[in-house]
Amino acid sequence: MSVENTSHKTKQNKTYLALTADTEYWDLEADKILFLGNWCKTYQNKHIIDSLNYEVMPSPWENTEDMDISRKKAYSSYKNLIPHLADFMNKLHNMNETTKYWEIILGWWFLNFMSIMYYRYCFIKNFKELDIETYTTLKDESDYYTTHDCAEFIAVVFHNDKFVDDFNMDIFSILLSEIKTNTTINRNQPVYPNSYNKTYVRYEYKLPIGKKIKESLFNVANNVTKIIFKSPILLTYTYFPVSSFLFLTKNGKREIVFNKNRKNAPIINANKEKRLNLNIEFNNANEFETIIMKIITKFIPTAYIEGFHELQKLSKRCYPNSYKHIISSTGWYAYDLFCVFVANAQSNGSNLISIQHGGYMLTKDILWPNHELNIVDYLYTWGWSIDYSDAIIKKGAISKLNNSVSLMQNREKILFLNSAVPRYCTDFRYNSLFHDIYYEDQIIFVKNLNTNVFNSLKVRPYGNMNNAIDRYTDEFPNIKIEKIWEPHLQVSLSETRLLIIDHLASTSACEAIALNVPTIFFWRPVFDDFTDISKPIYDKLREVQIFFDSPESAASYINEIYDNIEDWWLEPKRQEAIDAFRNTFAYLPEDSDKWWLDELLSLV
């Protein structure tokens, strides 16, 4: 690989390699452009792409087996490297903590990082094997961005459309610098200023002022209860409804307290000069692991390096008390202050107990529930169970809900619930082709609905991520759109006659089935993404025409049953398949609050 340091784009040969969808880096005058992946093609840049002579590089994975192998290799590398990352952190901060201690604090970031990097590594390696002579433009190393904490990292690689291309350009630039290919490389600052280089972009949940005051008063009351009665059980980030929290704390014999602190890690910028001298030692690594150990200090969020001392101090202020049992659903993910508190608590003997919070185990995934199972002592699921040596798995109940919805003939709304499929894969759940297929299938589905169904339809996209709303309104100007957070999904489901879901790993699917809302799924498979647990369940749903393999077949069937949805849903054979799903993925006892109260008090 030849490397030139230039300040302008130079055309060395006929084919330009485009790494991201950021057209500022493309050579639009090239004879031909090779897109590294489908993520380069967006709804916004379609008008540019249509004018180009281009090809998209084939996927590294031809079948399910190939994808499964890569998924396992990525996770295996994570397990291989996490002890060495822990040793590095101990030396850096003059500490002597266990690997589990550091896995609690930064394991979620590192697992995401390894999954993201290995996915992109596979594309670069596949490109290398094709041995195509190209030229491209990479970002200069001085322009790479270091995120402040785990929440911001997740935002810039997945949630935030404004920054996702720029940050992925960092990743591809560094991988292409480390892997020799038949590509001539120019180092080039972007032609526009890096607008987010000093801008904090992590997601911040903004509570209404009234709710914020209530939550603060609730925290104070529970902290007083903890001090006076030495309550041994802490619930935080558990997804219990407010009514359930009130029931549990009121009837919990002062054994259960609640604390939900929404503060974020301090914002401290990276010291890039100091980081040049930081190295992680690891022998006997494969090529991918060697690259990771070489580049990782450029990416570790500042909360874990420059800001770790401040993070520890703020964590102690936010969580001043100790508990015998710490119970959470989402606290282990991207809440750095909570994770520091939990790591210290675990070192001092606290039991860590997780309650499932999403639709994992419905599809293959290296992120959920692996991270929880790596760090907690107990995991309450929504029904399923697997053998696992390091944590005790118990059948729990779906904690987000506490009552079912009765079927009502006079409902009219048909709710089409969508997800967010990232252009740049983060967790091996989606092949790179699936992004295009997913959004195309939404339009195909709506086009195949008859007029009566369309008039009753409301679409609930995951915001306007990937221009999801724009795609609908451009194609169907009169379509009704429901906001992702308004109304609350459970409220929306109580008004819904039929729910349509177009994705498998769906928390909402579990909620809907638990609440007994008539539901139809469709999913056009690229690969076999079912787990050993979910495949027989979905096979049963397919047999009774609840699950469909294409948007056309789902729409056609909905047109048929639209006038008689309630009777269709209650047919005994169909209810048998629904019960199989509910008992495995969405268990909801008749009195969920009482069930959880008895279960939590049994810990004392």
Task: Report cis status (omega within 30 of 0) of the bond before 301.
Answer: no
Cα 516 to the center of its chain, rounded Å: 26
Higher-pLDDT residue of 195 and 353 is 353
Distance linking the first and last C-alpha atoms of the chain: 63
Would the pLDDT of 548 be above 80? yes
CA atoms within 13 A on the CB side of 421: 26
Alpha carbon distance 118, 75 (integer Å): 9
pLDDT value of residue 177: 94
What values do phi and psi take at 147, rounded to 5? -70, 160
In this prediction, residues 471-476 reach a mean pLDDT of: 97
Would the pLDDT of 229 be above 80? no
Q: Which of 355-364, 377-386, 422-431, 536-545 has the lowest mean pLDDT?
A: 422-431
Compute CA distances 86 → 290, 369, 481, 585, whole Å: 17, 21, 47, 34
pLDDT tens string 129-166: 999 999 999 988 888 889 999 989 988 887 777 789 99
Q: Which of 85-99, 242-256, 428-442 has the lowest mean pLDDT?
A: 428-442
In this prediction, residues 461-471 reach a mean pLDDT of: 91
pLDDT value of residue 3: 33
Length of the chain: 604
Compute CA distances 149 → 266, 268, 333, 379, 487, whole Å: 9, 9, 11, 26, 30
**0.85 cut: is pTM over it?**
yes
Would the pLDDT of 64 be above 70? yes
3-state helix/strand/coil string of 121-134: HHHHHHHHHHCCCE
Higher-pLDDT residue of 245 and 167 is 167
